[in-house]
Structures are given as C-alpha cells and as structure tokens.
C-alpha cells in the first residue's frame, strides 16, 4: 500500500482529519479527568487527572480564551478531547454551542470519548451542533464489541445523524467485530500509531513494546498492524505525521495571522526577526529604515532579520547587541533559536 499525502496509507479521510491535516482544527482539551487508566495513555502529567481546559496550548479560564485561540489560528473546526470529555457533558455542550454560534455551522466539531453514551446524551450533543463522534473502546472489548454497550451507543450515534467512527491505537488484536459494526453504520476506523510518551513509557516497556528507532517515538510493529487490516473507510495516523505535519500547518496558520510586516515566516511556521538592544533608533532612521519595518519595545527594538544583519557592524560599534530570533508564532511563543550577530 502506498502512503497518500495526508500521512496515511489508506485513502479515507474523515472530515475531522481533513481539517487536522491542514492545521485548521483547534484541539480543545476539555478536562484531564478520566475514569480509565489505559496503559498507552499519552496525556501529560501536567494535565492528567486535573480538571483543566486547554485550547491548543492556551489555558482556558473563560470563554473568551477559547474564542481568542480559535481566531488566532483561523480555526475551521475543533476536536474535543481529554481526559474523558463526557465527564464534563455540560461544559462540552456549552463549548459546542459557543463555537457554532461564533463561527457558524460550518465550523466542524468532532468529539472523542471512551464512554458508550446513551441515546439521550448523544441526542443532546447532536442538538448542540456536534458533527462527528469517535469512540475509543478499551482494547479488552475490541474483539467482542458487538456484545457490549458500545454497539448500542455506536448504532444510536449513527441514528442521530452524527458521523460515527472508532479511533484506537494500532495494537494487534481481532478487529473483525469492529469492522462489521462499522459497516452497519457506514463508520470509519482511525488507527493511531502507538507511541512512546513520557507518561506511558514504563507501561509500554513492561509489555514488551520497543521503539522503531532512536529518532522516532513510534512503536515497532504498530504501523504493520494497521497495514494488515482491510476494509472501507480506514485511516492510519502516523506519529511522525502528527508531530511534523499537523503541528507545522497549524503554526503556519497562526503565523499568517500574527506576523508583523517585517517578520519572516519559515516553512515550519516559526517567525524570524532581528532584535537590537541599546540606543539604535537613530542608526535605523539614518539608514532609511521605514517605521513599519521596526517595532519599539520596552528594552529593545525588533526589526526584519535582514535589516539587523545589514546594520549589525554599525550597531555593535555603538555598543548595541544584535541577534536573530526564531520564535513560535503564538502570543508570547517560545524562542526556538537565538543567534547573536
Ligand atoms: S481514555 Fe484516553 S484519556 Fe482516559 S486513560 Fe485512556 S487514553 Fe488516557
């Protein structure tokens, strides 16, 4: 099988994934609480077990924080995750309504859950505006899923009009029950490449999982498990794709919105500019640098990287320090690299 350009060797792309691939989906982490304890859980120690909310990396303390983050990346949709989102059902419903009211019905919203919600819960989510639901049953029910509450819930989700799928880590198992159930609801199966993280490494090692190689966090053999499955509407999300493509595309969207006239946007979506500390304004003006090509801050002046480089010798002669900064594009984004000139 060949890889398509969305990082998967399957051709099917659920709507929630399509927006994710273009970096236009906001990740709404709605709570760190979760009643389960999956051995592969990748949720970080900072978030796990805490009833806290993040929109991408931004802490959400009020509704405006969520809206600001969505605007900053020009989000076309939102993926609601956790923890277990349905432990905070009212919060989820309020956020779905908030996002749909602010950005319109075309703002696509999908939700992950490890629960098997009732028809009443599913209908309330659908009524609020939810578009897609991704069930995450635990591995011990995969084989016999048709004899569990997940079957009832998945059928009910489909009946409410939700686009319905199952999203699970790619671990060897008997998937026949899952595949036949999905056929009944015209649903999709999204397999995530199993990955080592800071929080699951010891549990994965204990079970004999090993890394593909030292340059990757992917688990050896996980990709092959997904490759061995045949059926309709299958998707495989590789760990490299998540890190490299989704993140980069999202950064680029944020950068396009946040870049100043003189910032350079890199292929990774970071911003590059020059920083001059010291009395430099006269030198910049004398060199003919226009006002829209620099920004005066409390303790420095920021300008285009090429201007800082061109004037570096002259600026340093007067005691200024000059450097080139590469920074993540979000508000107060972390500095990725600083190069003194
Ligand atoms: S259901 Fe999700 S959040 Fe909860 S323990 Fe499992 S992987 Fe972690």
pLDDT in tens, 281-308: 888 888 888 888 999 898 889 999 999 9
Whole-angstrom Cα Rg for the chain: 24
Domain edges within the chain:
15-255, 262-340
Q: What pTM was computed for the model?
A: 0.83
Over pLDDT 90: what percentage of the chain?
A: 67
Percent of the chain with pLDDT over 70: 96
User: Measured at the alpha carbon of residue 252, what is the angle toward residues 300 and 200, in degrees to the nearest 5?
Assistant: 100
* H or E segment and range at residue 307: helix 305-317
Contacts of 199 (CB under 8 A, 6+ apart): 41, 42, 43, 44, 45, 48
Name the residue at shortest CA distance from atom 7 of ligand 1. Answer: 41
The response to whether residue 84 sits with its C-beta less than 6 Å from ligand 1 reads yes
Cα(55)–Cα(33) distance, integer angstroms: 16
Q: Whose CA is nearest to atom 3 of ligand 1?
A: 83
Query: How remote is the CA of residue 111 from the centroid of ligand 1, in Å?
Result: 14
CA 242/CA 105 separation, integer angstroms: 26
The finding on whether 98 has its CB within 6 A of some atom of ligand 1 is no
> Which residue has tokens 């994965």?
204
Q: Are 264 and 271 in contact (CB under 8 A)?
A: yes
The CATH number of the structural domain formed by 15-255 is 3.20.20.70
- Burial class, 113, CB count within 10 angstroms (exposed 0-12 / middle 13-18 / buried 19+): buried
Out of 68-77, 116-125, 286-295, the most confident range is 116-125
Backbone angles phi, psi at 214, to 5 degrees: -70, -15
């Amino acid at each position: 099988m060949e890889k398509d350009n969305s990082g998967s060797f399957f051709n099917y792309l659920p709507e929630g994934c399509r927006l994710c691939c273009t970096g236009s989906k906001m990740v709404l982490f709605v709570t760190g609480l979760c009643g389960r304890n999956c051995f592969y859980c990748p949720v970080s120690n900072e978030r796990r077990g805490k009833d806290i909310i993040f929109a991408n990396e931004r802490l959400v303390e009020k509704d405006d924080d969520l809206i600001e983050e969505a605007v900053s990346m020009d989000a076309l949709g939102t993926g609601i995750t956790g923890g277990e989102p349905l432990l905070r059902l009212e919060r989820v419903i309020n956020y779905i309504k908030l996002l749909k009211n602010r950005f319109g019905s075309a703002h696509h919203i999908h939700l992950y859950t490890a629960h098997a919600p009732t028809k009443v819960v599913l209908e309330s989510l659908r009524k609020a505006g939810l578009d897609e639901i991704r069930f995450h049953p635990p591995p011990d029910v995969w084989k016999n899923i048709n004899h569990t509450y997940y079957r009832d819930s998945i059928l009910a989700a489909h009946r409410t009009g939700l686009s319905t799928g199952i999203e699970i880590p790619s671990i060897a198992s008997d998937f026949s029950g899952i595949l036949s159930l999905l056929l009944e609801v015209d649903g999709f199966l999204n397999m995530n490449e199993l990955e080592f993280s800071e929080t699951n490494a010891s549990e994965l090692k204990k079970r004999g999982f090993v890394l593909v190689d030292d340059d990757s966090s992917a688990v050896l053999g996980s990709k092959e498990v997904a490759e061995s499955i045949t059926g309709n509407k299958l998707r495989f999300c590789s760990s490299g794709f998540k890190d490299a493509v989704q993140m980069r595309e999202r950064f680029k969207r944020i950068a396009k919105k946040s870049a100043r006239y003189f910032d350079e946007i890199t292929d990774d979506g970071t911003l590059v500019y020059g920083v001059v500390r010291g009395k430099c304004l006269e030198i910049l003006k004398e060199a003919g640098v226009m006002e829209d090509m620099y920004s005066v801050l409390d303790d420095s002046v920021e300008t285009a990287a090429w201007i800082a480089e061109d004037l570096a010798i002259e600026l340093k002669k007067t005691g200024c320090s000059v450097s080139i900064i590469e920074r993540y594009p979000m508000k107060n984004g972390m500095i990725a690299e600083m190069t003194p000139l």
